[in-house]
Structure 1
């Protein structure tokens, strides 16, 4: 899927979690982070083209794909966005990059947002694909959002209730997720889909994904509140993209306005909705997503 890219495995973060990834190309470094329920394979449709101008690094978040699945702790902090961001910053350091751009989708975009707050000196530019800030989502739940994001409230139930229910038909359930957020299952390339299926077939991976969501509803909100109290804001150019026919695009308030409030200077944030796209922008509209990323990431 990644042509001449080279695979790597590094231990990263304060708790030394194995992180799997691939690297290719040459030029300014850019880190690409996937979301739920995917792996780094989601970036294959755009990674090789980006590698014409950049050194591209795609990794599996802790708990996902071929990366390690550490214990989460009673407070779920082992799967907080803070822990995931620390992993990725450490990976980039070990690859020789003190500064780099980041593009994240879904949970990977939430990791990117936390990285912007916790490691502001490391990130030069950031792209956030099809999310609104976690605290904003929880603070603005209505019937439409709860219906579309039902899994947020299902996955955070105490272990191991969601895990046992999903175990009845894990691959069938995975397919409903991948095919149910504005795209059909056939939007996902066959090799990438196989990567998602391999990971989701592992009970330990499914538990780690649930812990990611449990952290999102607990310790991550605590971190967000502390950052807000401290006046932390996005301080680098940031691109927000979302699918015009997805849940983010249906938000009562413009996603661009929401993200501009999260920045020290609203003019730092640009972005738009991609037409004919739901949640999985890279899979549904790889050409349009690539154009937006290349235009944003190339030197200005």
Structure 2
């Protein structure tokens, strides 16, 4: 069943309505989605943890700066009765999780970053493979159909999925992504502002067939800003880890959560 045991609600924090699903009981585990999705991206992962955690899955507010979102999500957790948090985020959600952890280190017990790097400085690291992979540049040097796919807001595979991709996205999830349309009004820069410093343990996950692992060794980059224990490994997926490999994601989460006090 889709999000079995969860309640869909909207809570207002600092005059901003935050749409979220919550379920379970125990310490707070906040799951933050990435682009171009909504909180529904966690539908195959979140229910696995409600027997031990209060799982909170909010929609982000991409039109707001990361600092403001971090402040509001901390206030949201407080309003729901949680002083301490474990955070997990995919892509842009990982950046918000890190902003929260840097803003209130005394409240964050651990962070899990999926398909994310700690910053956008690629100086001395980028190469031709990296440059050709960008949607904003070198379009006509990319393999078909990337130039065309990058020119629209909604990935075309969500509208007419090829056979090999059809099973990745649940119909309920696709309906939510297209109906909510969070990202078209997002800010031009989604990276946290200023230098971040993480004090808590960090788990880094990325897709074997995705870009991040092909460009970098993600844990090495995260150790530049994370001063707690950093671990991580690749999963059998490309980018949408929670929907391509939810079982592997859950297993990785279980191992990490078992190490936290």
Structure 2 length-normalised TM: 0.85
Cα deviation 1:52-101 (Å, max 9, x = unaligned): 221100010014xxxxxxxx5xxxxxx22112211211111110101110
Structure 2 distance, partners of 1:197, 1:22, is 18
Q: Tell me the equivalent position of 1:57.
A: 56
Cα deviation 1:245-264 (Å, max 9, x = unaligned): 1011101x311111112112
Structure 2 distance, partners of 1:109, 1:149, is 20
Structure 1 distance, partners of 2:189, 2:168, is 29
Shift, 1:102, TM fit = 0.5
After superposition, residues 34-45 of structure 1 pair within 5 angstroms as 34-45=33-44
Whether the aligned pair in 1 keeps the contact of 2:27 and 2:84 (CA below 8 Å) is no
Shift, 1:148, TM fit = 2.6
Q: Tell me the equivalent position of 2:29.
A: 30
Q: Tell me the equivalent position of 2:101.
A: 116
Q: Tell me the equivalent position of 2:145.
A: none
For structure 1, the residue ranges without an aligned partner over 5 or more in a row are 64-71, 73-78, 155-164
Question: Is the aligned partner of 1:194 residue 2:175?
Answer: yes
- The CA RMSD over aligned residues, in Å, is 2.6
Whether the aligned pair in 1 keeps the contact of 2:158 and 2:174 (CA below 8 Å) is no
After superposition, residues 79-118 of structure 1 pair within 5 angstroms as 79-118=64-103
Q: Tell me the equivalent position of 1:290.
A: 250
Cα deviation 1:9-64 (Å, max 9, x = unaligned): 11224xx211100110112210000000000001010111111221100010014x
- Secondary structure of the 1:61 match is coil
For structure 2, the residue ranges without an aligned partner over 5 or more in a row are 140-150
Structure 1 distance, partners of 2:134, 2:242, is 20
- Secondary structure of the 2:212 match is coil
Shift, 1:136, TM fit = 3.3
Of residues 223, 227, 238, the one that matches 1:264 is: 227
Structure 2 distance, partners of 1:114, 1:24, is 24
Cα deviation 1:146-193 (Å, max 9, x = unaligned): 333315999xxxxxxxxxx74xxx5xx42358999xx83531111111
Whether the aligned pair in 2 keeps the contact of 1:174 and 1:197 (CA below 8 Å) is no
Structure 2 distance, partners of 1:179, 1:107, is 25
Shift, 1:120, TM fit = 1.3
Change (3 A) 1:241 1:80: same
- Secondary structure of the 1:278 match is coil
Structure 2 distance, partners of 1:152, 1:85, is 30
Structure 2 distance, partners of 1:112, 1:153, is 31
Give the total of aligned pairs.
246
